[in-house]
């Protein structure tokens, strides 16, 4: 039997903070919580990232900050290869375009042109605070400029943002791949709040504030409850049986409502390493053909 994982000191501190602040100053605690939840931490580049960056053609598009059309952000996206078919890659929370350093060369070798974007507040792009809907709107702005790609591949939150994009806008792709994607935002946040021992009344305040900020109910960010069709000729879901962040049962519940999706279930790739799995890359290459 595996030993329970030790709780990191930062998590222990947050648990104590929310248990005390939830009673004394809930409004202040909510403000801190929102900042924590929607402020990603940027990561340093590692050698595989820098090597891939040297080979890239670099582009910039200016997009609005979330719910603030007067303020513009510079969002970076990168290009590799010269194929007739463009494959667009979008990373997840606290990721970056260059995290696909194993997948991009494989796609270029197959003759595709590859674009990968640093989402707002991620990688080399501007911004400090962002969210799934901001990713979706940024991709829409890019595709209005460039036209829709042949395929979209989204990891984690990037997969969810791409799904909503294909549901809500007149954008149609030939191939769509979701990798380790959170299906229901509320269930995801419920798990975070449970870990942090956030009082129930604070959770309610958070969801209320989130709905006011996004101008949509939290229930609308649940792919199992959405009735719109994802506009892709063929779709594929890739997920892992031992994902430490996204329960595979959530993904399988979604797949039960989407019989036209193909699926690949890996075992042991985890949440982040899955995009570097040889099995996953081979499956994506076959699926795109």
Residues 129 and 236 in one domain: yes
Q: Categorize the per-residue pLDDT at 3 as very low, low, confident or very high, splitting at 50, 70 and 90.
A: very low
pLDDT in the model for residue 198: 77
pLDDT in the model for residue 2: 39
> What angle is formed at CA 43 by the lines to CA 40 and CA 266, rounded to 5 degrees?
85
Residues 120 and 15 in one domain: no
**End of a domain among 194, 221, 248?**
221
12-63 tens-digit pLDDT: 655 665 666 556 666 666 667 777 778 899 899 999 999 999 999 999 999 9
Rounded to an integer, the average pLDDT of 62-72 is 86
| Separation of alpha carbons 8 and 92, rounded Å | 23
Residues 18 and 125 in one domain: no
Residues 239 and 211 in one domain: no
Residues 228 and 281 in one domain: yes
User: Rounded to two decimals, what is the model's pTM?
Assistant: 0.90
Higher local confidence (pLDDT), 286 or 221: 286
Residues 266 and 171 in one domain: yes
Residues 282 and 240 in one domain: yes
Nearest to 143 by CA among 168, 124, 122, 123: 168
Tell whether the model's pLDDT for residue 218 goes beyond 50: yes
Q: Categorize the per-residue pLDDT at 236 as very low, low, confident or very high, splitting at 50, 70 and 90.
A: very high
Domain that holds residue 155: 43-183+222-288
The secondary structure of the chain as a DSSP string is: -PPPPPPPHHHHHHHHHHHHHHHH-HHHHHHHHHHHHH-PPP----HHHHHHHHTPEEEEEEEEETTEEEEEEEEEEEEE---SSEEEEE--TT--GGGGTTHHHHHHHTT-EEEEE--TTSTTS--S---HHHHHHHHHHHHHHH---SEEEEETHHHHHHHHHHHHSS--EEEEEEES---BHHHHHHHHHHHHT--HHHHHHHHHHHHHHHTS-GGGGBTTT--SPP-EEEEEEEEETT-SSS-HHHHHHHHHT-TTEEEEEESS--SSGGGG-HHHHHHHHHHH-
Q: What is the dihedral of CA 276, 277, 283, 286, to 10 degrees?
A: 50
| Number of domains within the chain | 2
Residues 1 and 50 in one domain: no
Higher local confidence (pLDDT), 114 or 200: 114
Tell whether the model's pLDDT for residue 98 goes beyond 80: yes
Task: List C-alpha distances in Å: 89 to 104, 111, 143.
Answer: 9, 16, 13
């Amino acid at each position: 039997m595996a030993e329970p994982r030790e709780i990191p000191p930062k998590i222990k501190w947050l648990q104590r903070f929310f248990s005390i602040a939830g009673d004394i100053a809930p409004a202040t605690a909510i403000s801190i919580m929102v900042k924590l939840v929607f402020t990603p931490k940027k990561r340093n580049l590692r050698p595989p990232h820098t090597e891939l960056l040297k080979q890239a053609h670099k582009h910039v598009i200016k997009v609005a900050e979330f719910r603030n059309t007067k303020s513009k952000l510079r969002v970076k996206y990168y290009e590799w290869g010269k194929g007739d078919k463009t494959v667009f890659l979008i990373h997840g929370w606290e990721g970056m375009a260059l995290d696909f350093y194993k997948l991009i060369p494989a796609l270029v070798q197959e003759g595709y042109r590859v674009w990968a974007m640093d989402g707002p507040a991620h990688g080399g792009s501007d911004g400090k605070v962002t969210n799934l809907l901001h990713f979706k709107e940024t991709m829409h702005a890019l595709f209005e400029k460039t036209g829709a790609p042949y395929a979209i591949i989204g990891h984690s939150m990037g997969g969810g943002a791409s799904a909503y994009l294909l549901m809500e806008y007149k954008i149609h792709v030939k191939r769509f791949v979701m990798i380790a994607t959170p299906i229901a935002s509320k269930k995801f946040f419920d798990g975070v709040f449970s870990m942090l021992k956030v009082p129930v009344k604070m959770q309610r305040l958070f969801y209320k504030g989130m709905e006011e900020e996004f101008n949509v109910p939290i229930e609308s960010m649940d792919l199992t409850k959405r009735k719109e069709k994802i506009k892709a000729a063929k779709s594929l879901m890739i997920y892992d049986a031992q994902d430490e962040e996204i329960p595979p049962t959530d993904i399988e519940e979604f797949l039960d409502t989407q019989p036209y999706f193909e699926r690949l279930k890996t075992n042991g790739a985890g949440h982040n390493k899955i995009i570097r799995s040889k099995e996953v890359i081979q499956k994506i290459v076959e699926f795109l053909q």
